[in-house]
Each structure stands twice: as C-alpha cells, then as structure tokens.
Amino acid sequence: MVNAKTVKLEAGLYFVATPIGTARDITLRALDILASADVLAAEDTRSMRRLMDIHGIPLGDRPLLSYHDHNGARARPKLMQFLAEGRSVAYASEAGTPLIADPGFDLSKEASSEGYLVTSAPGPTAIVTALTLAGLPTDKFLFVGFLPNTKAARISAIEAVREVPATLVFYESPKRIAAMLANSLTVLGDRPAAVCRELTKKFEEIRRGTLSELIDSVKERPPKGEIVVVIDRAGKATVNESDLEEDLREALGRMSVKDASEMVAGVHGIPRRKVYQLALAMDRTDG
C-alpha cells in the first residue's frame, strides 16, 4: 500500500520529521512532502533513500543533497539557490525532528531571513517520547541535550540546571550513561529519574527509579542503544537543621567541604551557598 500522494507544494523550505525507530511512525503529510518536493536534502542521504523505499516513494530525477553539520556552509548556498528559483525543498535529519540536537538551524535562519516560506511537518522526537513514558511531571521541562564529554564540563553543565524548576531531559550515549548518572547524583541529589532507551524500537525499555537506583541498575545491566535520561526537578526543602548537620558531618568525613556541601544541597534540594556556609562552620568547629 502506498500512502504518499503527490501534492502541489508552495515554494519554500519544509522541515520533515522522520521516525526515531519504527518506520511507520512517519506522518502521512511528511510522506506527501517527500513525494512532492522539487528538491530533497538530508543529513544522511542513505537513510532518506531507505525511508523513501520503505514507503514506496520514488526519488525520480529529483536532486537529493547531503546537508549536515560538516558541510553546511558549502551546501547551504545550493539549497538557497533552489529556494531563489522558486522550488520546494524538503529537509530531514537522520532521525526525529530536524534542529533538535540535529542540523537545520542555520538553514532555517537563513531561509527565513531571506523571506522564504519555512514550514514543518512535525512528528517524532525522542524528547517528547521519553517525557510521555518517564513517569515524571511534564508541566514544565527543559531540554538540556547532550552533556559535554569531559567530567569537569559535564558537572558544570549539570550545576547550571540544578535549580531549574522543571523536569530535565538529556540525550545520552551508552558509553557515558554511568558517568552521567553518577555526576547527576552528586550535583542534583537522589532525585526520581528515568532512563529511556531504544524508544519505539524492538528493545524499548524504560527504567524508572531514583538516580542511585538507576546507577545500580546500569552497573548491573549496562543499557545499549539510544538513550534519553529524564530527571525530576529539585523537591521542596523540608529538611530540619539537625538532619542537615548530620548528613553534612557524614559527607565531610569522606569528601572536601565543597563536594560535601554540593552533594548534601543536591540531596535536600536547598541552595548550595547556604549548605556551604554551614559546612565551613562545621568543618572549623569539628576539625
């Protein structure tokens, strides 16, 4: 069964969302656009051809250009030229929604600043799929994307979002997941979280629990494939002073004042400065 139909498209740039796993997650409108655009461009032309084959869409004699992070500056003028000629150009990244941790931003900016129609056929994205399944509040969320590779930069990036009153969404790789969860526990405290992997695919799996539970689970059974980590916002501060002091004393016994206050502040969801002052005072008195 061929679902795509050829339609008359206005000249302009069409960002087309593609599946993040299951090929049939593409929308009918996305198929129509892929079947009808004068020019196709893709982050990965092979994936685009495969997707079109699956859905019975012939490329015919239409151009299929490669456009990704590394050739953007060179490839963009060609796509802009097609727009200048009044053609319709469809762009898809390798999977999911273009521009979401994927190429497309510069293209979108340039095409819109030149006054061309820029529109989108929305569809799958791992952010929303993970939020739907994580079991954490979705009223407000912050997409943090991929964290930096080095430990110090990763910790600063997590610190930067610690006080954000929203569910946090991260893209991660199986190689770094253990380190990322450990750093998150240190900086954010033991918050509820979820590791969502292989969404919409055969081995889709959601592990829900506190960060320390998830660290154990990842140690026991390292997850493979593509991963989104979702972490709850800081809880309301309800700790009393003596519990706080007890936790701090225990932490000061095995780490520096800075690390101890960071960890205890994270666990209780209270400002780090306040805990740091207390830790300094305790360190002076006890030490």
Compute, in degrees rounded to 10, the torsion defined by CA atoms 168, 173, 178, 184: -20
Choose which of 32, 226, 232, 262 interacts with ligand SAM (CB under 6 A).
Answer: 226
Choose which of 11, 64, 65, 100 interacts with ligand SAM (CB under 6 A).
Answer: 100
For ligand SAM, the closer CB: 200 or 255 = 200
Under the criterion CB under 6 A, does residue 162 sit at the interface with ligand SAM?
no
Query: Parallel, antiparallel, or unpaired: how do β-strands 88-92 and 12-16 relate?
Result: parallel
Burial class (CB in 10 A: 0-12, 13-18, 19+), 65: middle
Among the listed residues 256, 252, 226, 235, the one whose alpha carbon sits nearest the alpha carbon of residue 192: 235
Piece of the chain touching ligand SAM by CB under 6 A; list 26-34, 60-68, 165-173, 262-270: 165-173
Choose which of 171, 223, 232, 272 interacts with ligand SAM (CB under 6 A).
Answer: 171
Choose which of 36, 97, 120, 261 interacts with ligand SAM (CB under 6 A).
Answer: 97
Piece of the chain touching ligand SAM by CB under 6 A; list 78-86, 89-97, 148-156, 242-250: 89-97
| Residue the block writes with tokens 């898809």 | 92
Under the criterion CB under 6 A, does residue 206 sit at the interface with ligand SAM?
no
Choose which of 227, 230, 231, 248 interacts with ligand SAM (CB under 6 A).
Answer: 227
Distance CA 27, CA 3 (A): 10
Under the criterion CB under 6 A, does residue 195 sit at the interface with ligand SAM?
no
Piece of the chain touching ligand SAM by CB under 6 A; list 67-75, 79-87, 194-202, 205-213: 194-202
* Shortest Å distance, C-beta 149 to ligand SAM: 13
List strand residue ranges (DSSP E) for the chain, in order: 12-16, 39-42, 64-66, 88-92, 118-121, 141-146, 167-172, 192-197, 205-210, 227-231
* Shortest Å distance, C-beta 231 to ligand SAM: 14
Distance CA 90, CA 165 (A): 37
Query: CB–CB of 126/169 below 8 Å?
Result: no
**Contact footprint for ligand SAM (CB under 6 A):** 20-21, 93, 95-97, 100-102, 125-127, 171-173, 196-201, 226-228
